[in-house]
A and B are shown apart, each in its own frame.
Chain A
Amino acid sequence: MACLITLPIWSDPFIVYLIILSCIATIAALGLNILTGLTGQISLGHAAFFAIGAYCTAIASHRFDMPFWICLPASAFLSAFIGLLLGLPCLRLKGLYLAMATMSFGVVVEYVVITWDKVTYGVRGISVPTLSLFGYPLDSNNKIYYFLLAVVVVMVIGGTNLVRTRVGRAFVAIRDKDVAAEAIGIELTKYKVMAFTISSLYAGLAGGLYAYVMNYIHPEHFTFLLSIQYLAMIIVGGLGTILGSIIGAVFIVITPEIIKSLTQVLALLIPGMANKYNEEWNVAAFGLLIILFLMFEPKGLFGIWSRIKMCFKNWPFTY
């Protein structure tokens, strides 16, 4: 925690910017992990809720000059409400069918955002004013970083407590065996819809924060690939774990920089590797990471971290 608090002092401003993006990704990934990891409801439309949140903040702040303390909660609750509306018809769907339904929802949202240009400005995009904290403008990356850090801490604490409560245990029961969960008295309808709602709330809030950080949003920011990216975060990080969402989000955000750095290191050893870095390697990297983690480390980076922790705890004994 001390490292995070003092990050802007000792690190590169570019690293601060990457951590800002990681904070936003963490909140969105947490939401998806609650739905997919905890409750077992696969969603390929997470980017759509992220987009709803972003556009809500953008429209409220750009067109109506609303302050952040109205825009951000409005984004979160609007996404949550739409998540609730989506959750109801998706109750009977499972697996592939649920994935298709959520993916279709993503396509619909993308279409609406492009076509309803009187409200969303369509393909021109919307500029978002600088985030202002009760008159104090957060006009530098360092200031935005601290604000985001505070929001992430609150959302992580919320997520952690949710997992420990009756609601969290109900989610896990539904994931493990929904028939058995219903048999012991867990209302599937109520908890599945709740999972969709909470997940969308997280995504909407992340979208609102994204709009403030980028100062400009466009329909092309919220494609299907973004949903895949969030899925990669929770698979690589660890399905069903809060710490896994954080680790996965940071890892996926910094993966392109890791690949770039590796290329530069390889360039010292292999002549001709210099300037060979290709952005499309990132897309391949995400796919490869998902496959490798699903095959060899289903618990993700959280599983690796748990084993390392256990090893140090038990050392010199193995168990």
Chain B
Amino acid sequence: MKLRKILLTVLLFLLTFILAVPCFADRGVTKDTIKIGIINQKTGPASALGLPHSYGTIDYFEYVNEQGGIHGRKIVVIFEDDQFEAPKSVALFNKLIHRDEVLTITNCGGTNQTIANMENIKKYKTPNIPNTTAREFWEPYNPYLYSMGCSYEGQYQCMVDYIFNDLKAEKPRIGVVYAKKEYGKIGLEATRERAKAYGVDLISELVLPTGAVDASSQILTLQQNNVDYVITCDILPPIVTFLKTAEKYNYNPKAIFGFNWAADPSIVQACGNAAKNFIGVNYVGSWTDNAPGINLMRDLAKKYGRDLKLTSLYLNGAGAGMIFVEALKRTGKNLNSDTLKEAFETLRNFETGGVFPPVTYTSKSHAPPEMVKLFKADVPNKTLVPVTDWRKPREMKK
């Protein structure tokens, strides 16, 4: 009797290991539908960014569905909320793959979330356009991550290039205000290195927490150190606080720079005159541009009743949606993870109608275009207007 129990247990163990083989066959694709997952922030402090980004993607998919879908298949979106927490993002990734059986997941929520899901993305072959631009997503080559836009390093290099080459500053006093987050640290290091390449050291390096409600100590320090160019490495809400506090103390540097997660027309709407010296860097076109892709998304936002506070995030999500749709179209009827991956790698200077710079992916590189535009605040019209065309960071002599 005891022996039978032992033998039964061993047999059960063996059966389990034999059956423990994950099955990927044509997940998420039926005759009529393509199931796609989105993990982003619906609630929590980062929902101000996550929601418009997701709506951009969802609205573009809905537009494509209204046009007849992709080869007769409609896109069904399952949108999950990770509250900007990596463990939740990993749990939701597992749920979307195993329970909802989606074909792919367009993005995992952010830098940390995407890093946490890197093994999952490779294992379950889910082509993914991260809503973040960390260099480790394309260096080394990752077969299922397709980076968009410009790396944080590239954005900060463009800012410093602008100070020296466009504003023609001689011996500029540059200060950095950054968040103790991934993007903040990258921004600080990139600015420091680039300034050094021009022969200049940073005057101030100050932390501004993401949830800051006051920036008095940072402003007073910058004023004391006579900093005339401030480079910020923080998302929009604390930069609004920073600009308003600068106005309160009558601190008027020649320029205050912000990266893509702060470069949105809503910063001018929120700050008014306080944003007069603000220059934003973004790899997304301006909401007021007269370009086909941007015109379409403005119409869709109106049609679906989107009350958008951050239009650049909406365009960001829409651009990702456009790239996904193009890749889905190029797979033809035979759609699965592998054919989708191959389809992405056929994109050569693919245009998104002015939303993003032209996109190219190959079987050896999924790097982003590394191009940005710089936008200056137009206070009377409460928007940002481009002051440059698409540009890359300058090649510096070593």
Contact A280 B20 (CB under 8 A): no
Given contacts A5-B12, A13-B98, A278-B81, contact A143 B20 (CB under 8 A): yes
Nearest Cβ in chain B — how far from A113, in angstroms? Answer: 11
Contact A216 B12 (CB under 8 A): no
Contact A216 B116 (CB under 8 A): yes
Contact A218 B86 (CB under 8 A): yes
Chain B residue at minimal CB-CB distance from A213:
B90
Contact A8 B19 (CB under 8 A): yes
**Most B C-beta atoms less than 10 A away, residue of A13, A122, A141, A216:** A216
Nearest Cβ in chain A — how far from B77, in angstroms? Answer: 11
Which A residues are CB-close (under 8 A) to B94?
13-14, 17, 141
Q: For the complex, give the distance between the alpha carbons of A14 and B185 in Å.
A: 35
**What number of residue pairs across chains A and B have CB atoms under 8 A from each other?**
92
Given contacts A13-B94, A279-B43, A279-B81, contact A125 B185 (CB under 8 A): no
Q: For the complex, give the distance between the alpha carbons of A8 and B13 in Å.
A: 10
Which B residues are CB-close (under 8 A) to A278?
42-43, 81
* A269 at interface by CB-CB < 8 Å: no
Q: Which of B66-74, B176-184, B317-325, B328-336 is near enough to bind chain A? A: B176-184
* B288 at interface by CB-CB < 8 Å: no
Contact B180 A114 (CB under 8 A): yes
Chain A residue at minimal CB-CB distance from B23:
A13
Given contacts A142-B16, A279-B88, contact A125 B115 (CB under 8 A): yes
Chain A residue at minimal CB-CB distance from B88:
A279
Contact A142 B87 (CB under 8 A): no
Nearest Cβ in chain A — how far from B41, in angstroms? Answer: 9
Which residues of chain A from 14 to 46 have any CB-CB distance to chain B below 8 Å in the complex?
14, 17-18, 21
Main secondary structure of the interface of B (DSSP, over half): helix
| Tally of chain A residues near chain B (CB < 8 A) | 34
* B300 at interface by CB-CB < 8 Å: no
| Tally of chain B residues near chain A (CB < 8 A) | 36
Contact A127 B118 (CB under 8 A): yes
* B85 at interface by CB-CB < 8 Å: yes
Q: For the complex, give the distance between the alpha carbons of A130 and B95 in Å.
A: 21
Q: For the complex, give the distance between the alpha carbons of A218 and B13 in Å.
A: 35
Contact A216 B115 (CB under 8 A): yes
Q: For the complex, give the distance between the alpha carbons of A2 and B43 in Å.
A: 40
Which A residues are CB-close (under 8 A) to B118?
127, 215-216
Which B residues are CB-close (under 8 A) to A123?
180-182, 184-185
Q: For the complex, give the distance between the alpha carbons of A195 and B119 in Å.
A: 37
- Report which of B17, B85, B119 forms a contact with A215, defined as CB distance below 8 A: B119
Q: For the complex, give the distance between the alpha carbons of A6 and B20 in Å.
A: 11
Question: Which 7 A-B pairs have CB atoms at the shortest separation, nearest pair first?
Answer: A142-B20, A13-B98, A14-B98, A216-B116, A17-B94, A14-B99, A279-B81
Q: Known pairs A9-B19, A214-B116, A221-B85. 5 more at Cβ < 8 A?
A: A2-B12, A9-B16, A13-B94, A123-B181, A216-B118
Please give the residue numbers on chain B whose beta carbons come within 8 Å of chain A beta carbons, in ascending order: 9, 12-13, 15-17, 19-20, 22, 42-44, 81-83, 85-88, 90-91, 94-95, 98-99, 112, 115-116, 118-119, 123, 180-182, 184-185
18 pairs of residues in contact across A and B, judged by CB atoms under 8 Å: A8-B16, A9-B15, A12-B98, A13-B22, A122-B180, A123-B181, A123-B184, A123-B185, A127-B118, A130-B119, A140-B22, A143-B20, A214-B87, A215-B118, A218-B115, A221-B85, A279-B44, A280-B44
